[in-house]
Amino acid sequence: MEVDRPSLSAPGLVSELVRPGGLWRDITVVAETGSTNTDLLQAAAAGAAEGAVLAAEAQTAGRGRMGRPWLSPPRAAVIFSVLLRPAGVPIGDWGWLPLLAGVAAASALRRVAAVEAVLKWPNDVLVGQRKLAGILAEQSGNAIVVGMGINVSAVPAGDAGAGATSIEAEGAGRVAREELLAGVLRELEDRYRRWTADPDGSGVRQEYESLCDTTGRTVRVELPGGRVITGTAAEIDSHGRLVLQADATLTAVSAGDVVYVR
C-alpha cells in the first residue's frame, strides 16, 4: 500500500541543512532499502565521515530494539539514520546519544506537528501512552548510527505496531514529512554540538528529564538475558542510565524494555 504523500526531496533537504561548518555533510533519500541503520553501519565500517544522513521511503527489513520488526507503508513515516563519531566524548557517556535524539524528536514534533510528545526511557517517543516514534542506536568501531522512525499517517505492522499511534491519528492533520525531518535534524544538530563540546554542561540531561514520562513511575524493566527488575524509576543518571529504587536498593540499568506498572 502506498500513501498519497509527496516523496522526500534530497536536494531540498541538502539545500536547507548542509552548510560549511555544519554537522550534516550529505543527505540521501532512497525509495526502499532493507534498513537505513544497516546501510550506514556498513558505510561507517568503510570509513565514512560523520554527518551522513540516509532516509528511506520504505524499509523491507527495518527493526526496532531487541530485533523487533519495524515495517511501514511507503511514505507513511519519516524513516532515517544518521552517522555520528563523537570523538572526545568518553565512551561511557555514549548512552546519551539515543536519549539526545529523543529530545530532538520530541522537540521537533511539538513544534512542527503540535503534538504533546514525551519520552519513555530509553528511546521511545510517546503521545499519552501510545508510541509515536522509536529510536535505535548501534555502534560500529568509533561510530554510532542512530536510526529513527516516526509514524506520520500509519502505524507500523508487526509486533512494533502494538500500542502505536501516528501524527494523523493524534489529530494533528497533514504534516509535511520533509519539514518534520528537517526539524528533527536541526534539533539534533544543536544538541549534539552542545553535548560533544561539553557533555556535562550541555543541558541535554535537564531537557531529557523535563520531557521524560518514565521517572516517578513504578516500572518493570526486562533486561537482556531475561532478568526482570521492578521498582520506582528514580532518575536518569549522568550516563543516561535509568536508576531504579526497590526498597532501599538503587540499581542503574543501561538497556532494557520498560513496562509501566501504574
Q: Report pLDDT for 114.
A: 95
Instruction: For residue 160, give the nearest of 132, 179, 183, 187 by alpha carbon.
Output: 132
Taking the C-alpha atoms of residue 6 and residue 75, their distance in angstroms, rounded to an integer, is: 8
- 140 forms beta bridges with 143
Whole-number Å distance between alpha carbons of 45 and 95: 20
Q: What pLDDT is stored for residue 157 in this prediction?
A: 59
Domain coordinates in residue numbering, the chain: 10-209, 215-260
Q: Provide long-range contacts, Cβ within 8 A and 24+ apart, for 34-37.
A: 34/59, 34/60, 34/61, 34/62, 35/59, 35/61, 35/62, 35/63, 35/147, 36/62, 36/79, 36/80, 36/81, 36/147, 37/63, 37/81, 37/136, 37/138, 37/145, 37/147
Report yes or no: 205 and 236 within 8 Å, Cβ to Cβ.
yes
- Residue 169, class by beta-carbon neighbours within 10 Å (0-12 exposed, 13-18 middle, 19+ buried)? middle
Structure confidence at residue 70 (pLDDT): 61
Identify any residues that bridge with 78 across adjacent strands, giving them in sequence order: 150
Residue 95 is predicted with a pLDDT of: 92
Decide whether 10-209 matches 215-260 in CATH topology. no
Neighbours of 160 (CB within 10 A): 22
Q: Does domain 215-260 have CATH number 3.30.1330.10?
A: no
pLDDT at position 158, please? 52
Instruction: Please state, in angstroms and rounded to a whole number, the distance separating the CA atoms of residues 78 and 86.
Output: 24
Could you list the pLDDT tens digit for every one of the 262 residues in the chain?
455 688 999 999 999 999 999 999 999 999 999 999 999 999 999 999 999 999 999 998 766 555 566 666 789 999 999 999 999 899 989 999 999 999 999 999 999 999 999 999 998 999 998 999 999 999 999 999 999 999 998 776 554 445 889 999 998 878 999 999 999 999 999 999 999 999 989 999 999 999 999 999 999 999 888 899 999 999 999 999 999 998 889 999 998 899 999 6
**Is 20 exposed, middle or buried (CB count within 10 Å of its CB: 0-12, 13-18, 19+)?**
exposed
What pLDDT is stored for residue 174 in this prediction? Answer: 81
Task: Classify 10-209 by CATH class.
Answer: alpha beta
